[in-house]
Chains A and B, each alone.
Chain A
Amino acid sequence: MRLSPLTKRRINRFFKIKRSVLSLAVLGVLYILSLGSELIANDKPILVFYKNTPYLFNAYIFHSDKTFGGQYDTEAQYRGLNKTAAFMQGSGNYMVFPLVPYSAYSSSLDELRGNPPTAPDAIHILGTDDRGRDVFARLLYGFRTSLTFALVLLVLEIVIGCVIGALQGYLGGAFDLVMQRLIEILSALPFLYIVILIGNVLGQSFGMLILIMAIFNWIGLSYYIRSEFLKNKQFQFVEAARALGVRGAKILFSEILPNALTPIVTFMPFSLISAVFTLTALDYLGFGLPAPTPSWGELIQQGMENLSSYWLSVYPFIILFLTLLLLAFVGEGLREALDPREYSRME
């Protein structure tokens, strides 16, 4: 398929904006790396070499204590493994731990010097939280959670926003009128109360939170899509398609939608920003993801409670700020690249 020269020009223009490209690259690389968080920060080793057998990726594959000469059917306790008799007996048995050998979920109370939260030192470079969990590990896992949450939410928003916005714009009339009133009602509902209410009744969970937020957040996008469809359906190519016998749904999604993509693309980074921010805020308030999911908001909240432990609030804050800043840079670049000023014609 040949890319339209216009699309090519837009992509080229985006790649000329250094700051945005760099931001996108940094965010992309970090997110891909964070998908493998278990291999970066974990108390389970990447490789266990035991009795001439290599056991790889123990973070993802379950090995019971018995495998390594223990007596329980539960998962092996890797951190203490090298001290067990069975492990020490055979020569050539060894383990390779990730860069940061601490998990975001389990505390290492027995290894801590002092009471948690402990200040950053050579072992826990960003310190530990009030349950003795490594702050770096929690920030890393939190990054993954936040961005995944934001991306899934974005997809849902785009699907709902596009379908409803497109139908409103294209059909117009009574459907548009009724939907517009429903949207007004929906946007008048207090989002936070609904989250608390449903969280209390049905229990907090990742899926539930995304669903509730999706129900509220598609509205912004639907406005743009609606106006794009209102504008584009006036063009004669839509009428031409109708005259040629193209059916309604096909006109909607194959004739008009490709022309309405600009607002979706420019909307994406800003939607991600708002999702990350909202999730952090909800976690801070305790209405977000259920414990013990690692999250920035929860860390900042701990920082509030332990004001003397600066690392609990400063580091998450810095990470949050940088993430939002990078997203904003990407958004700025996209908007610049898609700016239709270039079409201004000259007579």
Chain B
Amino acid sequence: MNAPLLEVRGLKKYFPVRKNMLWSRQATVRAVDDVSFAVMPSETIGLVGESGCGKTTLGRVISLLLRPTAGKITFDGRVITGLRGRALHRYRHSLQIIFQDPYSSLNPRKTVFDIVLTGIRAFGIVKTKKALMDKAEALLTLVGLSPQYLHHYPHEFSGGQRQRISIARTLAVNPRLVICDEPVSALDVSIQAQILNLLNELKQQLSLSYIFISHDLSVVKYLSDRIFVMYRGKIVEKAAAAELFARTAHPYSKALISAIPEPVINQTKKTIILKGDVTTPVGAIEGCCFRERCYMAQAVCRTTSPPDREIHPGHFSCCHFAEQVAPPAGGGKS
């Protein structure tokens, strides 16, 4: 196995929140709480979780938009946490991000030409006017848009086309790892497949790595090699995509999978209805982060935080009872 492209160790991102109007009573939201993983070159990681679980924050930290509170990020063998100014600037273009909302992610006052070339201009990669024009045209063609649209403004496009423009802008700086933050969830159903296919094609063509953030497990499953499930700032389960569905080893993942309403009739699966609400992780919690909503919680879950255990090669779960959740290897019911 070759060296990982990106390695994250013990990453934490806390946000201070004021509990009341007084200055003194400060609490922290543990948006990302001690997360470790690695991304291989040309690999797609799916990051699933519900709103407020920290998946977006994690994406922002990796794409260098937010500074981590603690932890280490290694990119291509070099530690990039702690870098500032010019040193950090050098890595920016390798780690890019595609945003969810195709409406607010494009500047309404700029033409497609200017939007697509934002990064190229910032890095000064291409200089002459002719070369810039060629580059912009090539980028639009790459994402399946006609170059005739170069001098149009964003509001003249539909959501799917806007998302293509946004992808072109990202690819302009030749990134190696692209963080896709819910890139299709704001799009119409019939358009989502177009964008998902485009992302897949581009990955093959440019040998990109993706971290694909989504709340939609079926979309994640379609694209990802490995899937990480996040809950309250922690990655509770990590497994290869097929493995995660075949041998789910965390009660939260199991509930999440069962809760997806699928356009398939005569389903045999039983939906696990979790009690309670998705809450924001304010302050430290004792024991397992999921115990309040877990249908399997025992006394030990209240007191001891479950360790990240490898229950199968490459399959990690943060649950005391991972073995009971997962059907036994080999003879699993489908």
A residues neighboring B (CB under 8 Å): 2, 4-6, 234-237, 239-247, 250, 255, 258-259
Contacts and interface: CB of A to CB of B under 8 A. Distances in A.
Contacts of B253: none
Interface residues of chain A: helix, strand, loop or mixed (majority): helix
Contacts of B100: 236
Contact of B104 (A5, A236, A241, A242): A236
Contact of A258 (B105, B109, B156, B169): B109
A240 B109 contact: no
B108 A6 contact: yes
Given A240-B97, A244-B93, A259 B119 contact: no
A345 to B, nearest CB: 10
Given A6-B108, A237-B106, 14 more contacts: A4-B153, A5-B153, A6-B155, A236-B99, A240-B105, A240-B166, A241-B122, A243-B95, A244-B118, A244-B169, A245-B93, A246-B118, A250-B122, A258-B107
Contact of B65 (A6, A239, A258): A239
Interface in B261-275: none
A258 B153 CA distance: 14
Contacts of A243: 63-65, 92, 95-97
Minimum-distance CB pairs A-B, first 4: A244-B119, A236-B105, A258-B109, A245-B122
B65 A242 contact: yes
Interface in B65-120: 65, 89, 92-93, 95-97, 99-101, 104-111, 115, 118-119
B104 A244 contact: no
A5 B156 CA distance: 9
A259 B106 CA distance: 12
B18 interface: no
B118 A240 contact: yes
Interface string B151-171: 101011000000000100110
Contact of A236 (B101, B110, B115): B101
25 contacts: A4-B109, A5-B153, A5-B155, A6-B153, A6-B155, A235-B105, A237-B106, A239-B105, A240-B97, A241-B118, A241-B122, A242-B65, A243-B92, A243-B95, A243-B96, A243-B97, A244-B118, A244-B173, A245-B89, A245-B92, A250-B122, A258-B107, A258-B109, A259-B107, A259-B109
B37 interface: no
B78 to A, nearest CB: 18
A234 B93 CA distance: 22
A235 B104 contact: yes
B123 interface: yes
A234 B99 CA distance: 13
Contacts of A237: 104-107, 115
Contacts of A246: 118-119, 121-122
A255 B107 contact: yes
Contacts of B89: 245
Contacts of B92: 243-245
A240 B122 CA distance: 12
Contacts of B121: 246
Given A4-B109, A259-B108, A240 B169 contact: yes
A294 to B, nearest CB: 43
Contacts of B151: 2
Nearest to A260: B109
